[in-house]
């Protein structure tokens, strides 16, 4: 074999080896993002619409699913909870959480789900973001609302997670508790939600095609 052919073959082998290494690194990177042991899905849900979205996310990415519960639960009456939340937002009160998350440091990706309350982030979710250090983690917000959108909730998440990587959030219309329309994530609405969540997860590279 001539010297030229030897060099040519050597270059091909080296290129193939480099491509293989790059593919392995890419695969490892993808696996680390989607490793279920490092994914936490935390949600606050009053009428179970946000819970339904959290469960759809869990079906797609795995991980640990945790519902936020309060030491002193909110009243069942809609008008009373609205008034209480208004007062908490005005005073900056953070309701203490009954929920405790063990080994929080091991999670690298944290999905946080909540309804829009008064066009703001609900006080219990503020409590969670204040209580746990999400610095260095990837934070992914998701939301259900009564049709008025996310309000300032996603911006507040960014403010309370200054050391985190915040990915594009997901939002969908849920029930309208004020009008007595509670859980709606069923039938065609559920199919719509599943399709929307799947496309969103693919967009933010949290789910393979």
User: Which residue would you say has higher pLDDT here, 141 or 31?
Assistant: 141
Task: Assess whether pLDDT exceeds 50 at residue 13.
Answer: no
- Please count the structural domains in the chain: 1
CATH code of residue 126: 3.40.50.360
Helices 49-61 and 188-203, axial angle in degrees (round to 10):
50
Task: Assess whether pLDDT exceeds 80 at residue 136.
Answer: yes
Contact 167, 193 (CB under 8 A): no
Q: Which of 94, 78, 195 has the alpha carbon at shortest distance from 146? A: 78
User: Residue 98 — φ and ψ, nearest 5°?
Assistant: -80, -30
Domain residues for the domain of 103 are 42-203
User: Which residue would you say has higher pLDDT here, 30 or 202?
Assistant: 202
Task: Give this prediction's pTM.
Answer: 0.84
**E strands of the chain, at which residues?**
39-43, 64-67, 109-115, 138-145, 165-166, 170-173
d(CA 85, CA 93): 9
pLDDT tens by residue, 104-130: 999 999 999 999 999 999 999 999 999
Establish if 169 belongs to a structural domain.
yes
Q: What's the pLDDT at 34?
A: 76
Establish if 22 belongs to a structural domain.
no
Q: What's the pLDDT at 74?
A: 97
Q: What's the pLDDT at 188?
A: 98
pLDDT tens by residue, 22-63: 444 443 333 435 799 999 999 999 999 999 999 999 999 999
Residue 148's Cα: distance from chain center in Å? 20
Establish if 46 belongs to a structural domain.
yes
Q: What's the pLDDT at 208?
A: 65
Establish if 53 belongs to a structural domain.
yes
Establish if 199 belongs to a structural domain.
yes
């Amino acid at each position: 074999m001539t010297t030229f052919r030897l060099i040519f073959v050597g270059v091909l082998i080296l290129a193939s080896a480099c491509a293989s290494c790059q593919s392995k690194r890419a695969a490892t990177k993808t696996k680390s993002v989607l490793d279920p042991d490092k994914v936490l899905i935390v949600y606050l849900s009053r009428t179970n619409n946000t819970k339904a979205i959290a469960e759809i996310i869990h079906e797609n990415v795995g991980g640990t699913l945790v519902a936020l519960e309060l030491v002193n639960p909110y009243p069942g009456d809609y008008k009373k909870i609205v008034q209480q939340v208004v007062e908490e937002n005005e005073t900056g009160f953070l309701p203490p959480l009954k929920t405790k998350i063990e080994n929080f440091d091991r999670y690298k990706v944290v999905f946080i789900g909540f309804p829009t309350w008064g066009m703001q982030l609900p006080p219990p979710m503020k409590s969670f973001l204040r209580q746990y250090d999400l610095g260095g983690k990837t934070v992914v917000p998701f939301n259900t609302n009564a049709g008025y959108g996310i309000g300032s909730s996603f911006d507040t998440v960014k403010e309370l997670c200054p050391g985190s990587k915040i990915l594009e959030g997901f939002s969908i219309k849920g029930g309208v508790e004020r009008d007595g329309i509670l859980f709606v994530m069923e039938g065609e609405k559920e199919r719509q939600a599943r399709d929307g969540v799947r496309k969103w997860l693919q967009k933010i590279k949290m789910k393979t095609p």
